[in-house]
């Protein structure tokens, strides 16, 4: 039996090495699963846990809140607040205009913390921008004639490959946008930008704009560049992602995106094979919100 065991062990080892070689040769950053946030119960908007999210110790700047709603005891509560955490993930930051309940939900799910996991698709959460492989970075932002800035592939990108990661610098609840009107937008949007760290603020200010009206610059930047996302499960928000905003529109797009509520990470994925030197595009019908 001993010789048979030795031969079997050798064959198993050889097979494992062959498999590892194959994986090394053909593995790429394929789109992984988005894990839904686990919930055991709904958040009570008037519970002590939710009220704790309003503590000034959790945020970089004093909270700015508008409107109110009545608790079961008849108390008045903030409906929407501006929450800023800066820096975040070492160099960036984020301003979130949303309800205390959703802010508490994001905070408890670790979306506002640095993320790392053993599994390869989640390791990418630590790296903003282009995904690298043995051939180098996946893309570069370049000047495109007639379009301003655009994203161009620096190497071949395979269908299904995640080639860009981005984090939001601003998230805003659609309820605030739809129900409270332009006066509140002009109050909150500039503050959301101004409270970001300098590096993030410069990226935001460098984004494209539609209007020449500089007095309304913050809303102009968001209107031109923001994506629609969901927080708190099904609550509609708009998000500003500096890297994703550089991708131009095309009806026959070469890429699409998806957003993880658990990590606040936006993945951009190749819809088809993209050749080196080709401009990358997404369909803005699925990206841009209308205020």
Confidence of residue 213 (pLDDT cuts 50, 70, 90): confident
Range of the domain at 215: 48-286
Q: Other CB atoms closer than 10 Å to residue 83's CB: what's the count?
A: 27
Listed residue (226, 287, 220) closest to 251, CA to CA: 287
Residues ≥6 apart with Cβ < 8 Å to 117? 123, 125
In a domain, 194, yes or no: yes
DSSP per residue over 80-106, as a string? EEEEEEEEETTTEEEEEEE-HHHHHHH
* pLDDT at 249 (0 to 100): 86
Give the mean pLDDT of 205-233. 88
Sort strands 92-98 and 76-88 into parallel, antiparallel or unpaired: antiparallel
Domain holding 246: CATH number? 2.170.270.10
List, for residues 225-273, the tens digit of each pLDDT value. 988 899 988 899 999 999 999 999 888 999 999 999 988 989 999 999 9
In a domain, 6, yes or no: no
Q: Other CB atoms closer than 10 Å to residue 143's CB: what's the count?
A: 9
| pTM (predicted TM-score) | 0.74
* pLDDT at 94 (0 to 100): 94
Confidence of residue 28 (pLDDT cuts 50, 70, 90): very low
List, for residues 58-103, the tens digit of each pLDDT value. 889 999 988 665 555 656 667 889 999 987 776 679 999 999 999 9
* pLDDT at 83 (0 to 100): 94
3-state secondary structure of 142: strand
> Computed from CA positions of residues 51, 53, 55, 61, in that sequence, does the dihedral angle turn out positive or negative?
negative
Mean pLDDT of the chain: 76
Share of the chain above pLDDT 70, in %: 69
Q: HSE (CB half, 13 Å, CA atoms) of 284? A: 13
Share of the chain above pLDDT 90, in %: 38
List, for residues 185-196, the tens digit of each pLDDT value. 888 899 999 999
In a domain, 52, yes or no: yes
- Looking at the predicted structure, is the pLDDT value of residue 19 above 50? no
* DSSP 8-state assignment for residue 220: H
In a domain, 280, yes or no: yes
Distance, CA of 50 to CA of 291 (rounded, Å) = 28
Higher pLDDT: 97 or 216? It is 97
Return the HEC string of 171-237. Answer: EEEHHHHHHCHHHHHHHHHHHHHHCCCHHHHHHHHCCCCCCCCHHHHHHHHHHHHCEEEEECCCEEE
3-state secondary structure of 190: helix
In a domain, 15, yes or no: no
Give the mean pLDDT of 103-119. 70
In a domain, 67, yes or no: yes
Question: What's the Rg (C-alpha) of the chain?
Answer: 22
Higher pLDDT: 246 or 285? It is 246
List, for residues 121-133, the tens digit of each pLDDT value. 444 444 567 887 7
In a domain, 27, yes or no: no
In a domain, 13, yes or no: no
> Computed from CA positions of residues 101, 105, 111, 115, in that sequence, does the dihedral angle turn out positive or negative?
positive
Whether the CB-CB separation of 272 and 254 falls below 8 Å is answered with yes
The structural domain count of the chain equals: 1
Q: HSE (CB half, 13 Å, CA atoms) of 86? A: 24
């Amino acid at each position: 039996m001993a010789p048979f065991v030795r031969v079997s062990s050798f064959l198993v080892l050889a097979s494992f090495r062959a498999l590892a070689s194959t994986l090394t040769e053909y593995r790429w950053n394929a789109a992984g699963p988005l894990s839904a946030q686990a919930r055991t119960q709904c958040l009570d908007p008037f519970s002590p846990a939710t009220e704790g999210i309003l503590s000034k110790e959790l945020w970089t700047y004093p909270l700015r809140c508008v409107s109110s709603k009545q608790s079961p005891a008849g108390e008045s509560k903030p409906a929407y607040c501006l929450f800023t955490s800066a820096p975040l993930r070492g160099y960036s930051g984020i301003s979130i205009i949303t309800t205390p309940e959703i802010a508490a939900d994001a905070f408890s799910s670790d979306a506002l913390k640095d993320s790392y996991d053993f599994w390869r698709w989640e390791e990418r959460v630590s790296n903003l921008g282009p995904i690298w492989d043995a051939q180098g970075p996946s893309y570069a932002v370049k000047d495109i004639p007639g379009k301003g800035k655009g994203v161009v592939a620096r190497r071949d990108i395979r269908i299904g490959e995640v080639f860009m990661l981005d984090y939001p610098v601003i998230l805003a609840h659609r309820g605030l946008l739809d129900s409270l009107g332009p006066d509140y937008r002009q109050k909150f949007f500039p503050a959301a930008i101004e409270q970001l760290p300098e590096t993030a603020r410069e990226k935001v200010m460098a984004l494209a704009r539609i209007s020449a009206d500089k007095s309304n610059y913050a809303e102009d930047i968001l209107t031109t560049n923001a994506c629609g996302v969901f927080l708190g499960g099904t609550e509609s928000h708009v998000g500003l992602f500096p890297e994703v905003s550089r991708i131009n529109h095309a009806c026959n797009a070469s890429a699409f995106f998806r957003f993880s509520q658990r990590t606040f990470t936006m993945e951009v994925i190749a819809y088809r094979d993209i050749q080196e030197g080709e401009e990358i595009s997404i369909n803005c019908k699925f990206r841009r919100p209308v205020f």
